[in-house]
Amino acid sequence: MDIIEVLKALADETRVRILNVLYKETLCVCDLEEILKISQSNASRHLAKLRNARLIISEKQAQWVYYRVDEKILERYSFLKELLAKELDKSPQCQKDFRRLKKYRDCGGSCERIVKIDDE
């Protein structure tokens, strides 16, 4: 793994937003679509880049693939943990994404039960 690939993966706002919510919770593509209001193809493309940079890992369960931040990368690059744990919470967009994630879960949203949530 190369630090340049990690930095390139972080150079896109959507990928940073995805990484931020995946740091908080394990999610699948359909969850990310609803929480971030992005298309399935867009989410999948960004997840592939994050996976290629080894920032996230995936696990297949039935017909769904769930993604989460790879703890090993946080150990290797401490600045990532600092970014995800402290800095992104200051971003208005990331705060909005986190509120949408909470609302989605509070309404029972999951791969098995997609819940449409309103924009704030």
Residue 19: which CATH number? 1.10.10.10
Query: Does a structural domain hold residue 118?
Result: no
Query: Does a structural domain hold residue 116?
Result: no
- Quote the domain boundaries for residue 59: 3-106
Q: In sequence order, what DSSP letters do the residues of the chain get, joined into one string?
A: --HHHHHHHTTSHHHHHHHHHHHHS-EEHHHHHHHHT--HHHHHHHHHHHHHTTSEEEEEETTEEEEEE-HHHHHH-HHHHHIIIIIGGG-HHHHHHHHHHHHHHHTT-SSSS-------
Query: Does a structural domain hold residue 111?
Result: no
pTM for the model:
0.90
Question: Could you report the per-residue pLDDT of 12-57, keeping only the tens digit for each?
Answer: 999 999 999 999 999 999 999 999 999 999 999 999 999 999 999 9
Query: Does a structural domain hold residue 115?
Result: no
Question: Could you report the per-residue pLDDT of 57-113, keeping only the tens digit for each?
Answer: 999 988 889 999 999 999 999 999 999 989 888 999 999 999 999 999 888 877 776
Q: What is the pLDDT of residue 108?
A: 85
Q: Domain count of the chain? A: 1
Query: Does a structural domain hold residue 119?
Result: no
